[in-house]
Amino acid sequence: MKAFVFIMTLSSSVLLIPNVNSIVTMIDIGQGDSILIQMPLNKGTYLIDTGGADWDQEKDEEDQYIAARSILIPYLKSLGITKVDKLIITHGDLDHAGGTLLLMEEFKISELVLGKKLLFSDLEKDILGKAKAEGIHIHYAKEGDYWETLGGRFEILSPEGKEVNENDRSIVIKAKIHDIGFLFTGDISKEKEQTIIRRYPNLKADVLKVGHHGSNTSTSNIFLRKLNPSYALISVGRKNWYGHPHKEVLERLATEEIQVLRTDENGAIQIKINPFFGGTIRTKMP
């Protein structure tokens, strides 16, 4: 397990960080997921998911609450980001893909990444239609795909492309950024976790993005013991209707002595990785 320096700050101001560092930020997006990865020397800006939307059929479109409009887009613009090299939508659930169409209007997208699957949701179809209309390169990710850039290697562990359950169609990414390992799991279930560790028996991660916002459908004991992470990150809305993160999941994480950071309590969670000095974790309350 890697050593981290843990720093908590109540400031929401943007940190001026030399671009030799890589930065992974779990954005405080509410009940949903959105993770920004910034590689050093502008060698890659990747966004995994775009947060959710609370859609009310009785309201006009401009009056709908979309986390991308209120949180994600202002945050990205505050960092001076104008282009996203890879926009990765783990799966078609509204709390992961709900802000995508709006985000595509505000930023140049070099590549849209969706998981290979038998059936796309209506939202994914709309996203694909917009991407095709705007000439955005589309990649259908599947197990075995990977890419490398300065300071990092990213490997797709799932999907295979034949999954029936929507959550198990999630794109799962193993990332090695400098000397720190990450696993981004979307909403995969315990069953899919078992499939992954059977296929990758030596899989480890210093930082785990906990599946399905801490639902008890994910994050099994055997999965945690195999990965042996130092930190577990949970993206979850304050006082959400689903009871996430589930008490049993938190107990399993505690049993394995894994440090838990969650957006509903800690705000945005940012890991800065220096190629010479390792990782620094900061949390930022809104």
Peptide bond into 159 cis (omega under 30): yes
**Per residue in 131-155, is it b (16+ CB within 10 Å) or e — as a string?**
beeeebeebebbbebebebebbebb
Q: Hey, what amino acid is at 35?
A: I
pLDDT of residue 226: 97
- In what order do the strands lie in the sheet containing 207-209? 146-149, 152-158, 172-177, 180-184, 207-209, 231-234, 259-262
Tokens of 7: 């720093």
How many folded domains does the chain comprise? 1
pTM of this prediction? 0.91
Q: Could you give the percent of the chain with pLDDT greater than 70?
A: 89
Q: Bigger pLDDT: 35 or 284?
A: 35
Q: What is the CA radius of gyration of the chain?
A: 18
Query: What is the per-residue pLDDT across 70-125, written as a single tens digit (0 to 9) for each?
Result: 999 999 999 999 999 999 999 999 999 999 999 999 999 999 999 999 999 999 99
DSSP symbol at 107:
S
> Is beta strand 45-48 parallel, antiparallel or unpaired with respect to 86-89?
parallel
CATH of the domain at 181: 3.60.15.10
Q: Are strands 45-48 and 35-38 parallel, antiparallel or unpaired?
A: antiparallel
State the DSSP H helix or E strand holding residue 283, giving kind and residue range, or none if neither.
strand 278-284
Q: What is the CB neighbour count within 10 angstroms for residue 43?
A: 14
Q: Which regions of 124-205 does DSSP assign to beta strands (E)?
A: 137-141, 146-149, 152-158, 172-177, 180-184
Whether the pLDDT of residue 58 is over 90: the answer is no
Domain carrying residue 148: 4-14+21-56+63-284
Query: Do 284 and 9 touch, CB atoms closer than 8 A?
Result: yes
